[in-house]
A and B are shown apart, each in its own frame.
Chain A
Amino acid sequence: MSAADSTAFAGRAPIDGGRLVSTLGLLAGVGLLIVFVAAPLATIFIKSLQDDFGAYVGLANFAKYFSSAGLIQSIFNSVEIALVVTVLACLLAFGYAYALTRTCMPGRGLFRAIAMIPILAPSLLSAIALIYLFGNQGMIKGLLFGNSIYGPIGIVLGITFYVFPHVLMIMVTALSTADARLYEAAEAMGTSRWRAFWTITIPGARYGLISAGFVVFTLTITDFGVPKVIGGNFNVLATDIYKQVVGQQSFSMGAVVGLILLFPAIISFSVDRIVRRKQVAQLSARAVPYVPVPNKTRDRAFLAFCSLVAVFLIGIIGTAVFASLVTYWPYNLTLSLVHYDFNAIDPNGWASFTNSLEMAAWTAVIGTSVIFLGAYFVEKSDGLPFARGLLHMLAMIPMAVPGLVLGLAYVFFFSNPLNPLSGFYGTMAILVLSTVVHFYTVSHLSFVTALKQVDREFEAVSASLKVPAYKTMWRVHVPICLPLIIDVAIYLFLNAMTTVSAAVFLYAPDTKLASIAVLNMDDVGDQAPAAAMAIMIVLTSVCVKLVQVVATGSLLRRTSVWRRRDGH
């Protein structure tokens, strides 16, 4: 059914309430994203051209930045770290993904689940655990052969842990789309496996590999938690921006570092978008999915490799749990819960944890509804193609913006007393808003993809039956997308629990979050309580994940009866 037909159907309805609603919704979405994404980011540019008192100084801040040897050193440090992590994480994740998709290694489901562990924890956790493992009193510091964990080594290991699941997911997707016919042909022609790997597997996955590389690079260069905790005196861009803004309250210089940080993020984002578009077109309709056949030697080798990676991942979490329970490391190893008595350690105490729960719940509820509606209007409203395109474009921006930069932009934009929205500043609402925006793009893209699959005929039919569009949405689109809606809500919840970057500039004394408490406690040297709070975040994430599994199962059973007829 073409667009013209549906317009014709809609035209027959005498009072077109649905159309009005979707037009208003579309405009509201554009308005919201302009206010909460575009406008705050614009203030970063403005601020970088002003001094701390708001006077225009041209490029003086940039001149000052580039005349400081220390700050320039940070650029090199950041790039160096990012390159090393990119290579390391991509190699590890590629091997792991290969094992999951192209071998008959036993326990693939379990390994896949283990690989997702880092998503449940704030990035600070891995750094704290690494200190317990490889610090000067570390349990296995001998493995470093006298090198210090404080600095590049610690940052690389910590961030590799943190980015692993993100890279792995891209790699798994890239390796899943293989055409078995190519391998059959290769075998028939007597091509060696090694050659087939380089001429079929790698070219087939190349876009995924490139995309993964850029994603890791960006995540690494913009992560702030790991270098803050374990970086020692090794400065990187992300810690510089924090030092400038929080340590010296120099917001103009913060804006300059923010713009520099934005640069690699935007490049990698653009490359990623281009590359992903190409990936889609790769599989022809006649492709036969590749099914690996057992091969003992290969499967055992991959089992050994994946086990090593899994031991590292579990080891980090296990060490953090251990660190939080040991009474006084390394002299009193009796286990106790003293470090969980947050009220005695930090003035905000357990309130930080409940704040995080509250913030994550609001982020999940508000974020999911707003992002779903936004995607719905982009995908399903008639007319106003310009507004639809604009909304979609605005929704893509957050992915290219590092959390620290977004947080700083929100400070500039919302703390300005002339802004009618300045009432948000220092509230829970601004934390929720910044988190929704920070993770907007991935959720938006998922919804758009899912909604594309819903035939437009639904709207046409309901229009002809004079059922308003919002009713169709509620009765058709929402139930069809329900599993994804839950996924997105959980995704937002987990990220809201673990995020530090944007919130670190935005929290107020009574809205301090658990992840910020981890950072603060580590700052004053209370590492064990910091580990304990990080573990509370992990436990919450695990519970939420379990609830998701149960809820999705039961909801699907009740609402997906329609799916069963499909194709069977």
Chain B
Amino acid sequence: MGTVAQTFGRIAGFAAVATLAIGIEAAAAREKITVYTAVEPEELTGFAEAFEADNPDYEIQWVRDSTGVITAKLLAEGENSPADIVWGLAATSLLMMADRGLLEGYAPAGVDKLSPALMDKQSPPRWVGQRAWVASLCVNTYEAEAKGLPMPTSWQDLLKPVYKGHIVMPNPASSGTGFLDVSSWMQIWGEDMAWSYMDGLHENIGIYTHSGSAPCKMAGRGEYPIGVSFAYKGAQLKSDGAPVAVIAPSEGLGWDLESFGIMKTAKNKAGAKAFADWSVTEKANRMYNEAYAVVAMPGIAKPVDNFPENIQDKMIDNDFGWAAENRKRILEEWEKRYGSKSAPK
């Protein structure tokens, strides 16, 4: 019997030591900044390390999900949100938050060096753009050839019956990339035509994915040869050796701005401001450029490998205000039309 008691005693002792250790660790920790973001997960560690190297008193705690999820979460949490700063989220979403009075105006040190067109018009700005992500098609060249699929060059091409079941697209309700596609089609063609376009496209879609990068990754593996996604993901996969072509459809490309804004209710406002200040520096902008071709600081951006040429020229004249105002209505209609397909094609 003694041995049993001893065993339990040891377990209890271990538990006590473990609790103590956790307590000590917490006490020694740096001050945390809670950051809500929709930036691709593999990029986040690099950004956190770079910021923390310059600001050793702070530690970034990411809350990461796709744009739609993070937006819904912020809007639902409102003033009770644990977020200190929203960072790398679509400007469309930040506009909605600014409208609800959730964001605090703050001019980061050095914000005057950025393109004024890419931030809130109010002074001090409630949100500041960081870099633009741009819609593109990822096409698996190997599978396209094997299946005899011609290379699409426009959005309209995707309606061709030959692509039936070969296209995958992000669900605009969860994915910012999905939403910017839908909103750009509406801005290019008008709403009615855009809906009839999507009715046709729906017939060719294999599945709708949760995130905007998933279609490109699926195209990379050839699971579905054509992915409606964004340029960075395609370029990155191509650089990694995947048989992917990144195509910018001719009618024009939807895009949105990854932007940041400080929460009015931030518990660590000093930390949020420090991160905002860092995010407008040249160093940060150079990091943005590693993946994205269009960044907020003019004159910095170098061409990104494997990006479609002249991608800037094809970016539509995006009306963020319109997109933010109509987002909820568009998504409800989208869900009604395409949200529940009884079986995949």
Whether chains A and B associate is yes
Please report A residues at the B interface, Cβ cutoff 8 Å. Answer: 52, 69-71, 73-74, 77, 131, 135-137, 148, 150-152, 232-235, 246-249, 251, 328-332, 343-349, 365, 417, 426, 474-475, 478-479, 482, 509-510, 520-521, 523-527, 555, 558-559
Contacts of A475 in B (CB 8 A): 1
Whether the pair A150, B340 counts as a contact (CB closer than 8 A) is no
Complex contact A251–B76 (CB within 8 A)? yes
B108 interface residue per 8 A CB criterion: no
Scan residues 132-146 of chain B and give those whose CB is less than 8 A from a CB of chain A: 142
Q: Which of A52, A328, A332 has the most CB of B within 10 A?
A: A328
Contact A151 to B343, CB < 8 A, known contacts A136-B222, A251-B76, A344-B45 = yes
B112 at the interface (CB under 8 A from A): no
Do B339 and A70 touch (CB < 8 A)? yes
Min CB distance B325 to A, Å, is 18
Do B340 and A559 touch across chains, with their CB atoms under 8 A apart? no
Asked if B241 lies at the interface with its beta carbon under 8 angstroms from chain A, I say: yes
A70 and B207 CA atoms in complex are apart in Å by 16
Q: A248-B72, A249-B76, A559-B4 are in contact. Are A235 and B61 (CB under 8 A)?
A: no
On whether the beta carbons of A148 and B345 are closer than 8 Å, the reply is: yes
The reply to whether the CB of B260 lies closer than 8 angstroms to some CB of chain A is: no
Residues B344 and A150 in contact, CB atoms below 8 Å apart: yes
Chosen A-B contacts, 21 in total, with CB atoms closer than 8 Å, are: A73-B342, A74-B340, A136-B206, A136-B223, A137-B221, A151-B344, A232-B206, A233-B341, A235-B340, A247-B72, A328-B241, A330-B221, A343-B45, A345-B42, A347-B62, A426-B82, A510-B61, A523-B66, A524-B214, A525-B213, A527-B221
Q: How far is the CA of A349 from the CA of B211 in the complex (A)?
A: 19
A74-B340, A479-B1 are contacts. A525–B217 as well, Cβ < 8 Å?
Answer: yes
Contact B3 A559 (CB under 8 A): yes
A148 / chain B contacts, CB cutoff of 8 Å: 206, 344-345
Nearest-Cβ distance from residue A528 to partner chain B, whole angstroms: 9
Report the bound CA distance from A86 to B59 in whole Å: 49
Residues of A within 8 A of B34 (CB): 509
Cβ contact of B68, chosen from A52, A152, A247, A349, cutoff 8 A: A247
- The CB with the most chain A CB atoms within 10 A, among B240, B335, B343, is that of B343
Residue of B nearest to A149 (CB): B344
Q: How far is the CA of A52 from the CA of B72 in the complex (A)?
A: 12
What 16 new A-B contacts, CB under 8 Å, besides A249-B72, A349-B45, A365-B15? Answer: A73-B340, A135-B223, A137-B222, A137-B223, A150-B207, A152-B343, A234-B342, A247-B174, A331-B221, A347-B44, A347-B62, A509-B62, A524-B214, A525-B214, A555-B7, A559-B3
The number of residues on chain B lying at the interface, defined by a beta carbon within 8 Å of a beta carbon of chain A, is 61
State in angstroms the CA–CA spacing of A247 and B66 once bound together. Answer: 9
- A234–B345 Cα distance when bound, in Å, is 11
B residues with CB within 8 A of A: 1, 3-5, 7, 11, 15, 34, 40-42, 44-45, 48, 61-66, 68-69, 72-73, 75-77, 80, 82, 142, 173-174, 206-211, 213-218, 221-224, 240-243, 335-336, 339-345
Chain B neighbourhood of A69, CB < 8 A? 340
Q: Known contacts being A137-B221, A524-B40, is A234 close to B4, with CB within 8 Å?
A: no
For A521, what are the chain B residues with a Cβ–Cβ distance below 8 Å?
Answer: 41
A-B pairs, 7 with minimum CB distance: A525-B214, A525-B217, A70-B340, A249-B76, A233-B341, A232-B344, A249-B72
Nearest CB in chain B: distance from A488 CB, A: 14
Shortest CB–CB separation between residue B341 and chain A, in angstroms?
4
> Distance in Å from the Cβ of A6 to the closest Cβ of chain B?
23
Query: What number of residue pairs across chains A and B have CB atoms under 8 A from each other?
Result: 139
Complex interface: chain A residues within 8 A of B82 (CB): 426
Question: Are A526 and B344 CB-contacts (below 8 A) given A248-B173, A345-B41?
Answer: no
Contact of A524 among B1, B41, B63 (CB under 8 A): B41
**Complex Cα distance A349/B62, Å?**
12
A71: chain B residues within 8 A (beta carbon): 340
| Nearest-Cβ distance from residue A352 to partner chain B, whole angstroms | 12
Assembly CA distance A188 to B76 (angstroms) = 73
Residues of A within 8 A of B210 (CB): 523-524
* Residue of A150, A247, A349 ringed by the most chain B CB atoms within 10 A: A247
Residue of B nearest to A489 (CB): B11
Q: How far is the CA of A344 from the CA of B43 in the complex (A)?
A: 8
Interface centre among B69, B206, B243, B340 (most CB of A within 10 A): B340
Contact present for B242 and A509 (CB under 8 Å): no
Q: How far is the CB of B223 from chain A (nearest CB, A)?
A: 5
Query: Does the CB pair A234–B344 fall under 8 Å?
Result: yes
B71 vs chain A, min Cβ distance (A)? 9
- Contact of A233 with B207 in the complex, beta carbons under 8 Å: yes
Question: Nearest Cβ in chain A — how far from B3, in angstroms?
Answer: 6
B4 touches A482 (CB 8 A): yes
CB atoms of A474 and B5 under 8 A apart:
yes
CB distance from A255 to the nearest CB of B (A): 14
- Chain A residues within 8 Å of B77, by CB: 249
Known contacts A246-B69, A509-B61, A331 near B243 by CB under 8 Å = yes
Q: Which residue of A lies closest to B212 (CB)?
A: A524
Nearest to B66 among chain A residues (CB) is A523
Rounded to whole Å, the gap between the CB of B126 and the closest CB of chain A is 22
Q: Which among A136, A332, A478 has the greatest number of chain B C-beta atoms within 10 A?
A: A136
Asked if A525 and B207 make an inter-chain contact with CB atoms under 8 angstroms apart, the answer reads: no
